[in-house]
Structure formats: structure tokens, C-alpha cells
Amino acid sequence: MREPGVAIAGAIARDEGGLAFITCPDLDLRDWLVREVESLVPSDARPFRTSSVAEALGEPNRMALIIPNDEAEVVRDLDACRDQALEPPRTQPIVLFLLRDGDGHHTLALEAPSAWSWAGGSDVDPEALAELDMDAEREAFTAEVGTTPEEWLVPWRSQDVPRTQENFTRAFWAMTLE
Amino acid sequence: MKSWVDLYGEHQWLRGMHDREVANELRAVLRRLSEKPYAALRRDAQSRLVEARAPRSTTVQYTLGRERSGEALLLSELPEPVRDRVALREALLSVLLRFDRSVQRLQELNIMLSGLRLDGTPWALAVHLPHEDRTLGRPQGDREGLGACGHAALHCHVGPTLDVKPKIRVPLPPLRPAQIVEWMISQAIPTPEFEPAPWPGVEAMLHPS
């Protein structure tokens, strides 16, 4: 399983001063994902929110979280001003929040090759990553433990398995998969 | 008896929380714990609080560490004055949380810190809030044991291991997951750098001048 927090942190850290896209399923979740990114980044990144590419470029030493009012326009602006992000060189990235299948992604795919190349694959959809592939996870559990989750939980529930940290974690996971 | 019933009520009230808010609170604590100069956890521990959910399910779970393995405390790497106060050779922090996102409710909590003392003997702290659902297999829900005193819903095990008898279950006030982690770390590393509520700060909040 690819872990959402690790994927976000990786996308942001991949290129110092680079560009990363965070994909959000809807506007409600976008606000939560902005807060999630704020909670994930190191304190010295000093993240700030903006809807403007010019403001983001004006703060090369802070992480800019762009929450666009008009996604397509922001993507076009970014596409046009990649050079401005090179001088002075940014020490913190720009993170752009885009709706899944929204105007921003559409514009990015069709009209913004420079922004796309600038991001260099730093495109994360954390909500999609959080969804488990149950068949694969059950298979992995069985391969690791030697029994199915349901079989493993029988002795656990009758208190016949030691209450270790490892076993608590295994029980928690087995209950997710049963 | 009323005090114990009240405590049980507080534990029920505590369950009402939004998982994303809890995750952000926890990340803030984990980030603080993984930043120098007093890093007790590996860098960017906050990014290893992992959300997962089954397709078409309202249940969301959070675990800590790659492959849910928890995060080791970097006790031997702490600066010297702090390290000298630590009575543990090694310790592992694990976090297991399960929520029903549709009703914004914490269903189940298990936060554990276990490891070895300096003499090599085991040591464990484990805070539990059992799953509240009453099912055929678990008709008691979170009312485990004999009652709300001896087995409070939110309780902490303290011992060399969780199987050694007598099994101690200390009733806890209604602390949120982030505060439970803060408390656990304050027990393992009892220094001002890891005390989230130092008395001077408490005094300043109690009597602002």
C-alpha cells in the first residue's frame, strides 16, 4: 500500500523549491487536505495560503499553498512563469490544490506543458491512496501470518494470544480485513 | 458509584470527534517530537501516520509507521542531559485508531509504548478504549470487565507486559489521542523538553496578568 502522508511528503520534498499538485475529490475535502499538508510539513517551511501565483512567487523561502479560485487560470499562470521561480531560487516548494477531474487538471494536461514538466510527477491524490485494496491486503496478511484474518482472530478473541504490541497491531489489522 | 458513571459518560462524550481533526492534532505532536534539537522520533514521523479505509465503508483507521510497525524512540540519540534522565534502553510507539467518519466518532483506540528498561527487562504502557459496538461476538461493547471502576472504558495498562498479573488498568480522564501520545512520551522522557504543560505555563494560563 502506498501511504498517503508519505506520498504527500515525498511529492513536496522531491524537488527543493519545486511544484507539487495535490488532488482533492471535492471542495469540502480540499480544506481538510490543506490542513493535512500544513500538519505534515516541517515547521521551518512556514507554509502560507494564497490563491495567487504572484504571491506564491513573492515568497521564495516559504511553502506556498495555492488554493485557487480559478484553477485553469492559476495553472496557466504557473505555466507562464516557471522562469520566475528560478531567480531567485526557491528554497520551499509551491503546492497547488486541484479538484479531481476539474478544470485545473484539464488545463494542465492540454495547455500547460511547462507547469507539468516543472512538477515532474509530483502529483498526489491522497484520498485515492487511502483506499485499501482489500484482496491484496488479505493476501498479504495470509502470506505473512500463515492464516486468514478470521482464523487469526479466533485465538486472539479467546485470549489465547499474548497481548504484545505486535499482536495488538495484527489484531487491529485483521479486524479491518475480516 | 456516581463518579464512575460520570467518568464512563465522559468517555462516551470523548468519542465524538472528527478523524481528520484528530489526525492533524496527532501530526502536530509527532512533528514536534521529530524535530531537532530534541527529536525523540525519526524525521518526519508526522508523515507516517497512515490513513486507510475499505472501499464503500465509513470506517477509517489510522496507524503509525511504515507497514503499521510503529515508531522507535531515538533514546540513544537524545542530547546528553536529556538522555541521562531516560530509564529505558529502547521503546516503540504504536498508534491504532478506528473511526466511523459518517458520524464523526472514535470507535476504538489503542496507543502503546513498550520496550526495555536499562537492565533489559520489559516495560509497557498501553492506553485502550475498546470498540463501542455491541455485536454477537462482543455483546458487552466497551463495558469490559466487571464495571466502570475496575475496567474504565478509557484506561491505561502499566506493567512489564500486558499479560503479567495483576493486570493494572488505570482509569484515564477523557484525553484525546494527541494528548495521550504527549503523556506517554512525558513518562518515557521525563524532562522539561518533553513536558507539554509545564507548571509555569499552567500558572500563566490559570492566572493571566
Please give the helix or strand (H or E) that residue A39 lies within, else none.
helix A27-40
**Cβ A35–B92 below 8 Å, yes or no?**
no
Q: Given a cut of 70, is residue B12 above it in pLDDT?
A: yes
> Burial, A71: exposed, middle or buried (Cβ in 10 Å; 0-12, 13-18, 19+)?
buried
Which of A9, A36, A168 lies closest to B112 in CB terms?
A: A168
pLDDT at A26 over 80: yes
Using the predicted structure, report yes or no on whether residue A6 has a pLDDT greater than 80. yes
Contact B20 A162 (CB under 8 A): no
In this predicted model, which residue has the larger pLDDT, A2 or B209?
Answer: B209
Does the pLDDT value for residue B137 go beyond 80? no
Does pLDDT of B59 surpass 90? yes
Q: For residue B138, is pLDDT > 90?
A: no
Phi, psi dihedral angles at B48 (to 5 degrees): -100, 15
Q: Do A42 and B44 touch (CB under 8 A)?
A: yes
User: Could you give the CA distance from residue A66 to residue B61 in angstroms, rounded to a whole number?
Assistant: 28
Task: Tell which B residues from 161 to 180 touch A, by Cβ distance under 8 Å.
Answer: 161-163
Tell me how far apart the alpha carbons of residues B5 and A170 are, in angstroms, rounded to a whole number: 32
User: Would you list the DSSP string of A55-111?
Assistant: HHHT-TTS-EEE--SSHHHHHHHHHHTGGGGTTTTPSS-EEEEEETTSHHHHHHHHH
Residues B89, B116 contacting (CB under 8 angstroms): yes
Interface test with A, best of B47, B56, B106 (most A CBs within 10 A): B47
Residue B71, judged by CB atoms within 10 A of its CB (0-12, 13-18, 19+), counts as buried
For the cut 80, the answer to whether the pLDDT of residue B136 exceeds it is no
When mean pLDDT is compared across A13-27, A89-103, B41-55, B89-103, the lowest value belongs to A13-27
Please, what is the average pLDDT of chain B? 94
Is the pLDDT at B3 greater than 90? The verdict is yes
Interchain contact, A39 vs B52, CB within 8 Å: no
Contact A35 B24 (CB under 8 A): yes
Å from B102 to nearest chain A CA? 14
Q: Tell me: pLDDT of B22 over 70.
A: yes
Domains (range + CATH), chain A:
4-129 (3.40.50), 134-177 (no CATH)
**Between chains, do B52 and A165 touch, taking CB under 8 Å as contact?**
no
pTM of the model: 0.90
pLDDT value of residue A1: 58
All structural domains of chain B with their residue ranges: 2-195
Please tell me which residue, A71 or A9, carries the higher pLDDT value.
Answer: A71
The predicted model gives B115-127 an average pLDDT of 97
- Give chain B's largest Cα–Cα span: 57
> How does pLDDT run across A28-75, given as a tens digit for each residue?
889 999 999 999 888 889 999 999 999 999 999 999 999 999 999 999
Residues near A83 by beta carbon (within 8 Å), at least 6 away in sequence: none
What percent of chain B is modeled with pLDDT above 70? 100
B86 close to B57: Cβ distance less than 8 angstroms? no
Both ends of chain A: CA-CA distance in Å?
18
